[in-house]
Structure 1
């Protein structure tokens, strides 16, 4: 019998992302995100023929996640670090049409105007 309390009622030794999502009342994708970022300890196991790795958690790992959640301070731990400012991308100037030459007086035919180069197409 394990010394840590059983948080998940499924009775498995290795719990899936769905077990933790139900336990913490969040989406399985959020559980995977926390494990991938290293904020929650986890184990990757190979599943299926393709060998895709999925995250699994033991009862001890879940107990550690719960205890870290209880000890986490409300404020940021790195209060001395300056906050990063978002970098705003520079706007790309738009291409504008060239002004049309003035029509010849007394004629209903417009003068010929050369087209600009084609962008994105190779000759």
Structure 2
């Protein structure tokens, strides 16, 4: 029982704590995949490999100050603080979004064939 108590700080948003009342969210339909956020806050953001968009990998990966700096570097303002309770709703809505791939259209074989024709 003592181990369970030591793992709970009382600052968790679920418990009404003030430590992280907000969560960070990336609107992937707006993201251009520049990577600034992932460079600044490496433990919070990454570029998603299938579509090349930024994605949050850990809400508590970096300090709020570093995350805020990463948000400020976004050229298209697709990252925002949202209420922690809204995060699951936004993430559930993501499954219905159509997100285009920012990478090369087609496979690498056709790209290499075009490259060698010149």
Sort the TM-score into its range (normalised by shorter chain).
under 0.3
* Structure showing the higher helix proportion among its residues: 2
Normalised TM-score (structure 1): 0.26
* Structure showing the higher strand proportion among its residues: 2
Normalised TM-score (structure 2): 0.26
Identify the structure with bigger relative contact order (alpha carbons < 8 Å, sequence gap 6+).
Answer: 2
> Which is higher, the Rg of structure 1 or of structure 2?
1
